[in-house]
Structures are given as C-alpha cells and as structure tokens.
C-alpha cells in the first residue's frame, strides 16, 4: 500500500514537529505501507529526514499565499494522488475538501472549537480566521474516514460541537524527544535563596490571548511584594500585537526597572534549553490546549510544575503538578506559593513528572498512528 501525506497546511510550530518526529520514528512496512509520499513546501520538507521508503515531493505553490495553497489542494492534489497511486491519504493539517477516499484527518488545533476562547480575540483578523477554520475543519472531519485526536479532552470538545458519533477515531498522544530529558535537581528550601541567588520561575509559550502570561506576572508581583526572592522569565513569540502589549504593560506595572521579570520574544533554542536547566519552577497558564507539548517538555526537563486546571493539561500532567485557575490571579499566586514553600512538594512533583514523561515516545505515537491507518484502510475495503 502507498500512503500519501498532504503537508500543505503544516508550516511551523507543533504541526511540523509532529510530522518530523512521526516520520522519523515510523516503520510503515510493519503496517503494510510500502511507500509514503509527502507533498509540502520547502521549509517543511527540509526538516523531514530522508527514509528509503519515503518520497518527499516539493510543491512550489505551497511556499506562497493561502490562495495558492487552496488552489493546489483543490486542483493539483487530486492529480498527485492519482499519479502516486495512493491507497490512503493522511491530512495532518485537518483541512481537506477533496473527494478522495479513504482519508484520515487530524485535530491539532482546538481553538476553533472553543467559542469562549475565540471571543477573547474580539473582531480581529484572528477572530475571523478561527471562525473560518471551524467551518473548514468541520467539513473535513465530517467527510473523513478516520480522525486522530491528541487527547480524550480534545475529542470530547469537538464531539460536543459537531456530530461525529459514527466516525472512527483514535486518541494518539504526541511523543517527546530524548534531548529534553534531564534528571530533576534536588529541591532546596526557599530560605536558601536570596536576591543575589533568586528562585527562578519560567514560562515558555507564545504570547496569545488564551495564554494569560499577564496574570502570572501579576501573581509573581504579589509574591515579590511579600518578600519572596524570585525572578520570572517568559519566553515566546506572539500571535498578534495586542497580547504582547498587555504583557509588557503588566511587566512595567510590577517591575518598572525590569530587574526581576524578563520577556524574551526571540531566543535561540540552545538558550531555551539553558533556561530549562536553570529554572526552579515551571508555570503554564493556558486555557486552551489540544495537547500541551510544552508542559511535556518541562516534565522531561525534571521541573516542578504549576499548571492551568483548564483544557487538556490534566490528561498529560495528571497528579504530577499543582493546578490553578489561569483566569484568577489569586489562584495562580496561591498555587505558586504552595510549591515554593514546600521543597518536598517540588521534589515530589519534579520526580513524578520526570517518570511520567518517559511514557511518551514518538515510537509509540508512530505505531499507533500507522496502526490506525491500517485499520481505516481495512475497514474501507470491506465496505
């Protein structure tokens, strides 16, 4: 059998990481797929390692605008599928409006199905983009022969919005690269820290309306006023201008001289690894996550974690961290304070999270994914 992968909408972030790691760990022939064809833009294909069973096909139109990508999917993809003699199509970017069957779609972006989160954007470009994504992904999911979800939580949210009761679905967790793993440090009592040697808090994520970095800044500010010797680093780009402005305003309110709270909009990955190694506590305050890959990275890095109680994070972190309401500054403050005040909690959470992270592997992700492809193709042939 031949598997075709439409990577036209996989252009950056977690989508590219997933595709790269999936194909790196995959052994398609174990699931009767002799060949995998990947159609994509240059930057995406360059990140995918060569394999004897894989053909990477560069499509110049996929380096251009959304209009060009839509044109390619509508008029050129059917020709590619036919020429390649594809037996099953995989669309990890979710959006597919063609008529080829069987095809498997994938839900990697929960935001279009969370109305309360979409409203945070007001009448902005992102607001209308998310509405369009809701309709396009709904169409794709309804036509798909199979759908992969990253968490049970994500599947439930989508099922609550659209009728997919008769669809074949599978929950497949992402994996974690071994490079993220570092054994947990032995926690020290907060009395061992000082202004010169502060307790370091870290938050890694792009700045967006549903990430609530500003609430964490205000919570950290309250702890600083109460004498806690802490610093706070925030790392991540932005999805639009307004959230960054809100974050910078919060930082200036709490730490006008920028001595203790620092926002890094652009940072080399090697520096992020150093931040993980230097940190004493990791905070994650998102209210909408399909999976929570960054939380998994922090778990592998052996950090104690205080985390949003909303969305899919509890399915990943389980009982290996402390939880708060990301919309409530006082809740965030209390959660951070509980963990800072107890070195035993920090030791317990970091060790438990580190062990839990080892259960997530890209090999398992690849086997589950290709096993699902095989099952969908088999059921389709029997109909």
| 109-148 pLDDT tens trace | 999 999 999 999 888 888 999 999 999 999 999 999 999 9
Residue 22 tokens read as 């999936």
State the residue for tokens 């639009």.
240
Residue 256 tokens read as 């006008």
Give the separation between CA 345 and CA 14, rounded to whole angstroms. Answer: 31
Query: 283 - beta bridge partners?
Result: 306
Distant-in-sequence, close-in-space partners of 95: CB < 8 Å, separation ≥ 6: 9, 73, 133, 136, 137, 140
Angle at 205 between CA 200 and CA 209, to 5 degrees: 120
Q: Which domains does the chain carry?
A: 2-175+361-382 (3.40.50.2000), 178-357 (3.40.50.2000)
Distant-in-sequence, close-in-space partners of 302: CB < 8 Å, separation ≥ 6: 181, 182, 183, 184, 185, 350, 351, 353, 354
Give the separation between CA 234 and CA 242, rounded to whole angstroms. Answer: 17
Residue 128: how many CB atoms within 10 A of its CB? Answer: 12
Query: 204 - beta bridge partners?
Result: 235
Q: Tell me which residues of the chain have a pLDDT lower than 50.
A: none
Angle at 180 between CA 176 and CA 181, to 5 degrees: 100
Give the separation between CA 344 and CA 51, rounded to whole angstroms. Answer: 47
Phi-psi region of 32 (alpha: psi -120 to 50; beta: other; left: phi over 0): left
* Distance of alpha carbon 195 from the chain centroid: 34
Torsion angles phi and psi, residue 17, rounded to 5? -55, -45
Q: Given this model, what pLDDT does residue 383 score?
A: 65
Query: 4 - beta bridge partners?
Result: 37, 89
Give the separation between CA 286 and CA 21, rounded to whole angstroms. Answer: 24
Q: Given this model, what pLDDT does residue 156 score?
A: 96
User: Which pairing describes strands 199-204 and 168-171: parallel, antiparallel, or unpaired?
Assistant: unpaired
Q: Given this model, what pLDDT does residue 76 score?
A: 95
Torsion angles phi and psi, residue 340, rounded to 5? -65, -40
Give the separation between CA 320 and CA 304, rounded to whole angstroms. Answer: 8
Q: What share of the chain is helix, strand, coil (3-state, %, to 5)?
A: 50, 15, 35
DSSP 114: -
State the residue for tokens 């998310």.
130
């Amino acid at each position: 059998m031949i598997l075709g992968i439409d990577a036209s909408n996989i252009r950056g972030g977690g989508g590219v990481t997933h595709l790269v790691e999936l194909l790196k760990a995959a052994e398609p022939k174990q699931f009767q797929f002799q060949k995998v064809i990947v159609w994509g833009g240059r930057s995406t294909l360059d990140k995918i390692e060569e394999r004897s069973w894989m053909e990477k096909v560069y499509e110049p139109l996929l380096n251009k605008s959304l209009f060009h990508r839509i044109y390619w999917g509508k008029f050129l993809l059917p020709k590619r599928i036919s020429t390649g003699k594809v037996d099953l199509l995989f669309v990890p970017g979710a959006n597919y409006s063609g008529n080829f069957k069987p095809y498997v779609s994938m839900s990697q972006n929960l935001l279009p199905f969370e109305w309360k989160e979409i409203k945070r954007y007001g009448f902005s470009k992102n607001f209308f983009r998310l509405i369009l994504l809701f309709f396009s992904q709904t169409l794709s999911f309804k036509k798909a022969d199979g759908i992969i979800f990253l968490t049970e939580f994500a599947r439930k949210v989508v099922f609550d919005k659209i009728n997919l009761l008769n669809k074949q679905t599978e929950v497949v967790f992402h994996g974690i690269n071994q490079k993220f793993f570092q054994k947990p440090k032995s926690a020290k009592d907060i009395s061992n820290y000082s202004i010169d040697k502060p307790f370091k808090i870290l938050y890694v994520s792009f700045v967006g309306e549903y990430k609530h970095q500003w609430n964490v800044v205000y919570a950290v500010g309250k702890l600083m006023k109460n004498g806690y010797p802490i610093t706070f680093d925030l790392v991540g780009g932005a999805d639009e201008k307004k959230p960054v402005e809100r974050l910078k305003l919060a930082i200036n309110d709490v730490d006008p001289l920028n001595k203790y709270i620092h926002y890094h909009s652009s940072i080399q990955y090697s520096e992020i690894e150093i931040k993980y190694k230097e940190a004493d506590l990791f905070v994650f305050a998102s209210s909408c996550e399909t999976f929570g890959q960054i939380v998994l990275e922090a778990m592998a890095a052996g950090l104690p974690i205080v985390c949003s109680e909303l969305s899919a994070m509890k399915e990943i972190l389980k009982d290996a961290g402390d939880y708060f309401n990301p919309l409530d500054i006082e809740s965030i403050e209390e959660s951070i304070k509980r963990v800072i005040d107890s070195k035993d909690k920090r030791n317990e959470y970091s060790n438990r999270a580190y062990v839990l992270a080892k259960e997530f592997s890209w090999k398992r992700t690849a086997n589950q994914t290709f096993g699902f492809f095989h099952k969908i193709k088999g059921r389709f042939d029997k109909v």
